[in-house]
Amino acid sequence: MSETCPPICDYEHSDYQERFWERGGREYEDRVEAVALRRLLPPKGERLLEIGAGAGRNTPRYVGFRQVVLLDYSRTQLEKAQARLGDGERYTYAIGDVYRLPFASGVFDASTMIRTLHHMANPLAALKQVRSTLSSGAVFVLEYANKQNFKAITRWISRRQEWNPFDRKPVEFVPLNFNFHPAAVRGWLEATGFDIIQQLTVSHFRLNLIKRLVPLKFLVAMDSLAQWSGNWWQLTPSVFVRAEAVGDGEHAPEGVFWRCPACGWLELEPVDVGLRCEGCQRVWQLKDGIYDFKEPIEGEKVEY
């Protein structure tokens, strides 16, 4: 827990939700991702962790889960999610990063990470943390940006692109934005304690010209059908994976939910301003219904 974290992509004060999803002509992508989530997630469960929840675009789709915990590194993104979803017992909001998850071992029976892994400079470390929070048999739905997509292959063959889409090394096309090779992602999942159950290829028709000329309903229907090819080949810009947590792993004592992201201590005592770690005496703030595990308000600062 004391190791320095890799660099983190921060969406604080970003207009990503409005610019990209609401005004960016992305209804097709949103609809086909909803199809993939519906196919891969269990219809119901107890507690789901949404990593990289952002403004809560996908959160309403987890209707079968009793509790949904939204984790994001940005307070302003979670505030947008909170404004959309409301408070209440069903939703818990937490600011934190995937390399230092503030949750005890084995407390979730499902997790999602959609459009988030591509910001990870160390995806293996991130996936190891995710596995630690899941109980044995839990379902993990992961989406990643695929470097071995058809557009990249044609550009490379025609020498309009330098990097090789068949090379398993990640490609960082802009700072902290990575495309990954499917075989590399499968290797990371297996190395961190997951069995891969299903793969879906998503966004087969992510071209502006096609989206302008072909009716949305038809595009979604065609993509929904083509998604089933994901176990055979992965040539789309987006790939969804359903993985299952295997092995016994660790499991927190009954009633324990939080873990100090700085020292790993499991005894976090509720205080007026949030949670106090009995191990390192750091205090993590609870403000306006959002837990903040980015920096403590009391105790030694965390090095990032």
DSSP string, 201-248: EE-TT--HHHHHHS-HHHHHHHHHHHGGGGGT---SSEEEEEEEE-S-
Residue 133 has pLDDT above 70, yes or no: yes
Q: Mean of the per-residue pLDDT values for the chain?
A: 95
Q: Look up the CATH number of domain 16-256.
A: 3.40.50.150
User: Residue 304: pLDDT band by 50, 70, 90 thresholds?
Assistant: low
Q: Amino acid identity of 187?
A: G
Closest CA to 102 of 218, 279, 251, 263: 263
**How confident is the model over 106-120, as a mean pLDDT?**
98
Percent of the chain with pLDDT over 90: 91
The DSSP letter of residue 167 is: S
Domain ranges of the chain: 16-256
Tens of pLDDT, residues 149-203: 999 999 999 999 999 999 999 999 999 999 999 999 999 999 999 999 999 999 9
CA distance linking residue 293 with residue 71, whole number of Å: 10
C-beta of residue 117 within 8 angstroms of C-beta of residue 192:
no
Tens of pLDDT, residues 51-100: 999 999 999 999 999 999 999 999 999 999 999 999 878 999 999 999 99
The pLDDT value given to residue 27: 97
**How many CB atoms lie under 10 A from the CB of residue 44?**
11
C-beta of residue 234 within 8 angstroms of C-beta of residue 201:
yes
Tens of pLDDT, residues 204-229: 999 999 999 999 999 999 999 999 99
C-beta of residue 126 within 8 angstroms of C-beta of residue 98:
yes
C-beta of residue 81 within 8 angstroms of C-beta of residue 55:
yes
**How many CB atoms lie under 10 A from the CB of residue 155?**
15
Q: What phi and psi values does residue 94 have, to the nearest 5 degrees?
A: -140, 130
- Alpha carbon dihedral 50, 189, 147, 166, in 10-degree steps, equals 180
State how beta strands 177-179 and 171-174 pair: antiparallel
Q: Amino acid identity of 153?
A: I
C-beta of residue 67 within 8 angstroms of C-beta of residue 93:
no
State how beta strands 134-145 and 108-113 pair: parallel
Tens of pLDDT, residues 235-270: 999 999 999 999 987 888 888 999 999 999 998 999
The pLDDT value given to residue 107: 97
CA distance linking residue 68 with residue 96, whole number of Å: 15
